[in-house]
Structures are given as structure tokens and as C-alpha cells.
């Protein structure tokens, strides 16, 4: 990405006028284009009511296609909109039709609760949830795969761990799961929008992400990808007019689920969230996900090196293929929480997660903003 294009896209983010905002793994600031689209829709509804309802539905399908492109899905029908990551993962956990007592799911210990509770609840069905320990800021792929046995039905894992930034090898895990007939379900919220993803290449069966982090969208809207390969193995846990093939057949009732993942949309969607997300997806695709990933990894490497030079122990793996948009670190003399609070007072926004200092820049951030964070650390 040349400097002119980067500056043009950076101008979409008014947050840069006030903060060095390095906290996209928490809640990202929305770009101007997204907020303008949302406001325009609200204004239109205020003035016209339902007169442009069909246009809003066309926009939903346009954004679905953009999301499919970003995910690497074969067809937009494999993508549905959901409220958030927890909702999407719960739909998979509760809707899988093949559960039998004695089955198991494999995941990670220090995963975010959205990707823990849906699997823990399966204990009610006699399904065991096995979690792999984090070791030295990593989830060891060999250990993960070694826990698979003949009763393993799913491997449910975060692509990027929120508390360490460790990025797992989806392609390797996907191959292993496909060879054994195990479903690979991935929480991609901490990678999608920052790193290139191809669900077909990596043999992912289902993936979920909320929009309010690296996708640069609003809260309360998310994406649920379900491959056509497995969609018939999932029973929708919620049903309504929108989940049926004939969405407008409001006087004739028969259960005939919609094509692909669209069956998981039970009723009226968050049109405002979808149109804002569409604008953000446009920006990411205009930037090019290869360039987005390159810049994100360059910025996190700059942050990791600077933190290490200042006596911070960097938890996040720096090994090739394991880095992400997240860098976490600890210091013997400075608590993460207090450091985050002091930096916020100075206009530098980072986070404290699991007692770790966490930095998560996006592609539009500048090297100077990372350096500003490091300089402010020196001044504490």
C-alpha cells in the first residue's frame, strides 16, 4: 500500500485526531464511512418508514457477499448475520445433531468466555469439553491434536488467542480434523479483518466473529460462516420467518429452512449494524488484506521489540506464522492495569487482559503512534 492510499484510508478514522488508539482487540473505532451510512439509514427510516425496506434487504445481501469475500467462502449463502460471537458459537454447539453421551470437544484453557461456555454447557448432554493449557504464550498444536480420540466430534478453537496473541496453524489443524472426520469450529474474532483468512484453504467447517474488533464495525452484529459441507448436520436452534426458504410466505406455514447458513437468521436483522459493517468491509477490501496483514504484523513487531527493550517480558510468540495483531507483555515493576490507566490519561489507548499489558494496532495506525506509546512508557 503506497503512502497516499494509506493516508486516504487513515483519514476515515477520526479517532486519530485525539488518540493513539492501539486497542482493536477490544472495541475498534468505526470509520467515518460506517457511521455516515448508519446515520443515513436512520434518517431515511425516520422520513419514509418501510418504503425503502426492500432496498435495505438488498444492502444486506450486498454486505453478505463482501463478508463471504473476506472469509474466502465459496458462496454468500454460507454466511449469516448474528448478534455476536457467543450467539454464533452457541448455535453451532446446541444445533449439532450428532452429539452422543461420551463424545468430546477439544479447546483451549485461556480462551475467551464466548468460546468456552457454549462447549461447557454440553455437559448436560454427556459431552466432555477438554481444554489444552497455554504454555509460554502458546497453544501447542501437537498437544492439541494428541488429545483427539475416536469420540472427538469437534475442535473448537480461537484462531488468535486474546490474552497472548498466539495464532494457531489453521491449515495444519484443518487437515488433521478433515482426515479424522472432526469438525473444525473457529472463533476468528481476533484475526478476521487483521489477517488474511481463507476458510476453504484452511478446511474450516464453521467460523464466527463479531464486527466490533478488527472488522471495524459496530457492536451487536457478527458473522457466522457455516460450510455447505456440514450445514445439514446443524439444526437451527431458533426459527422464524426469515429462516425459511419462502421468507414472505406469511399465511402458509411449513418448515422448509432457507438455503445454507441463511437458515440461522430467524427474524428481523440489525439493518443499521449491517450497513455500517458493509462500509468497514469495503475499506478493508480496498486496502487489500495482504497489505492489511503486512502492516499489522509490522506494527506489532515494532511494539514487541520496543517493549522488550524497556524490560517488558513479551508473552506473545514472535515465531513466524504465530504472530498476530496482538502483543501482550508483563513487567516485574509495573502492573498492566495501572499502566493502561496512566497511558489513557496521556491519550494512548491499550488494554489489560489476564493481567497482561496488551497492544493491538490496526493497519491505519502509524509507526509514530506505536513510538508514542513507547515514549509514554518511558515517561511513567
- The DSSP secondary structure of 94-121, one letter per residue, reads HHBTT--TT-EEEEETT--GGGTHHHHG
Segments of the chain assigned to CATH 3.90.1150.10: 3-22+289-379
List, in order, residues 6 or more apart from 266 with CB less than 8 Å away.
236, 238, 239, 240, 242, 243
Q: Which stretches within 129-228 are classed as H helix?
A: 141-146, 170-180
Beta-sheet pairing, 20-21 with 348-349 = parallel
Range 357-363 average pLDDT: 98
Length in residues, the chain: 380
Task: List pLDDT tens digits, range 305-318.
Answer: 999 999 999 999 99
Quick check: helix, strand or coil at residue 156? Answer: strand
What average pLDDT is seen over the chain?
96
Segments of the chain assigned to CATH 3.40.640.10: 36-285
pLDDT at residue number 257: 92
Range 105-133 average pLDDT: 95
Cell of 247: 421468507
pLDDT at residue number 40: 98
Q: Is the pLDDT of residue 62 over 90?
A: yes
Q: Is the pLDDT of residue 250 over 90?
A: no
Confidence bin at 26 (pLDDT 50/70/90): very high
Range 232-251 average pLDDT: 92
pLDDT at residue number 86: 97
Q: Which stretches within 26-163 are classed as H helix?
A: 32-48, 53-71, 85-95, 117-120, 141-146
pLDDT at residue number 261: 97
pLDDT at residue number 256: 87
Q: Is the pLDDT of residue 248 over 90?
A: no
Plot region of 99 (φ>0 → left; ψ -120 to 50 → alpha; else → beta): beta
What is the reported pTM?
Answer: 0.96
Task: List pLDDT tens digits, range 258-303.
Answer: 999 999 999 999 999 999 999 999 999 999 999 999 999 999 999 9
List, in order, residues 6 or more apart from 51 with CB less than 8 Å away.
none
Range 144-160 average pLDDT: 96
Q: Which stretches within the chain are classed as H helix?
A: 3-10, 32-48, 53-71, 85-95, 117-120, 141-146, 170-180, 271-287, 289-309, 336-345, 367-379
d(CA 187, CA 245): 28
The CATH class given to the 3-22+289-379 domain equals: alpha beta
Across the beta sheet with 356-359, the strand order is: 313-314, 327-330, 356-359, 351-353
Range 6-30 average pLDDT: 97
In this structure, CATH architecture of domain 36-285? 3-Layer(aba) Sandwich (3.40)
Q: Is the pLDDT of residue 1 over 90?
A: no
pLDDT at residue number 98: 94
Range 163-168 average pLDDT: 96
Amino acid at each position: 500500500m503506497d503512502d497516499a492510499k494509506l493516508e486516504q484510508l487513515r483519514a476515515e478514522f477520526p479517532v486519530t485526531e485525539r488518540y493513539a488508539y492501539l486497542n482493536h482487540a477490544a472495541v475498534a473505532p468505526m470509520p467515518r464511512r460506517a457511521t455516515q451510512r448508519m446515520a443515513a439509514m436512520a434518517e431515511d427510516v425516520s422520513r419514509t418508514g418501510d418504503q425503502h425496506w426492500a432496498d435495505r434487504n438488498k444492502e444486506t445481501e450486498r454486505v453478505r457477499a463482501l463478508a463471504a469475500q473476506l472469509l474466502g467462502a465459496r458462496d454468500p449463502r454460507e454466511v449469516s448475520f448474528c448478534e455476536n460471537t457467543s450467539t454464533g458459537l452457541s448455535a453451532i454447539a446446541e444445533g449439532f445433531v450428532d452429539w452422543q453421551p461420551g463424545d468430546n470437544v477439544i479447546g483451549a484453557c485461556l480462551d475467551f468466555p464466548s468460546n468456552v461456555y457454549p462447549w461447557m454447557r454440553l455437559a448436560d448432554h454427556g459431552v466432555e469439553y477438554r481444554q489444552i493449557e497455554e504454555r509460554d504464550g502458546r497453544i501447542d498444536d501437537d498437544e492439541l491434536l494428541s488429545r483427539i480420540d475416536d469420540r472427538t466430534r469437534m475442535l473448537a478453537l480461537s484462531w488468535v488467542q486474546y490474552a497472548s496473541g498466539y495464532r494457531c496453524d489453521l491449515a495444519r489443524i484443518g487437515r488433521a480434523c478433515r482426515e479424522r472426520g472432526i469438525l473444525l469450529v473457529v472463533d476468528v474474532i481476533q484475526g478476521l479483518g487483521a489477517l488474511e483468512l481463507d476458510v476453504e484453504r484452511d478446511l474450516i467447517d464453521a467460523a464466527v466473529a463479531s464486527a466490533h474488533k478488527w472488522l471495524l464495525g459496530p457492536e451487536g452484529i457478527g458473522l457466522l460462516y457455516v460450510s455447505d459441507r456440514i450445514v445439514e448436520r446443524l439444526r437451527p436452534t431458533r426459527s422464524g420467518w426469515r429462516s425459511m426458504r419462502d421468507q414472505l410466505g406469511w399465511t402458509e406455514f411449513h418448515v422448509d429452512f432457507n438455503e445454507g447458513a441463511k437458515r440461522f437468521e430467524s427474524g428481523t436483522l440489525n439493518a443499521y449494524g449491517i450497513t455500517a459493517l458493509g462500509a468497514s468491509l469495503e475499506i478493508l477490501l480496498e486496502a487489500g488484506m495482504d497489505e492489511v496483514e503486512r502492516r499489522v504484523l509490522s506494527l506489532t513487531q515494532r511494539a514487541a521489540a520496543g517493549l522488550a527493550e524497556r524490560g517488558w517480558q513479551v508473552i506473545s510468540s514472535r515465531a513466524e506464522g504465530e504472530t498476530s495483531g496482538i502483543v501482550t507483555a508483563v513487567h516485574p515493576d509495573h502492573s498492566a492495569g495501572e499502566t493502561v490507566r496512566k497511558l489513557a490519561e496521556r491519550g494512548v489507548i491499550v488494554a489489560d487482559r489476564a493481567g497482561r499489558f496488551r497492544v493491538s494496532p490496526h493497519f491505519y495506525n502509524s509507526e509514530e503512534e506505536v513510538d508514542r506509546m513507547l515514549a509514554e512508557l518511558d515517561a511513567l
